[in-house]
Amino acid sequence: MPLGIQRLNAHQTHPNDLIIFIKPLPGPTAPVAQDFLSRVAAICKPIMAASHLSVTTLEEYEPNREFVGRNFNNGEIIQLVLQAPRTG
């Protein structure tokens, strides 16, 4: 766990101990997004461990046409766009 942070009262097992929080957008697709972000975290665990990387928050970002992901403060927050933008 990075930065000496410890999870208390975790409701489920965490797929990657190098990522502290995994947050989907609230709404009807939240369970699917949570599952997808957890899978991404699990896939990234060996790479992160080998490179000595840690991330505070991996979260879903709202759909947009400009980017598919972004990084703040050298990996403190990583936001991924999981849904296609809706056209009206």
Quick one: pLDDT at residue 20?
87
pLDDT of residue 5: 64
Q: Look at residue 1 and tell me whether its pLDDT is greater than 60.
A: no
Q: What DSSP line would sit under 17-71, residue for residue?
A: TTEEEEEPPSSTTHHHHHHHHHHHHHHHHHHHHHHT--EEEEEEE---SS-SEEE
Beta bridge pairs of residue 72 = 77
Per residue in 5-25, pLDDT (tens digit) is 666 666 677 788 889 889 999
55-77 pLDDT, tens digit per residue, is 989 999 999 989 999 999 988 99
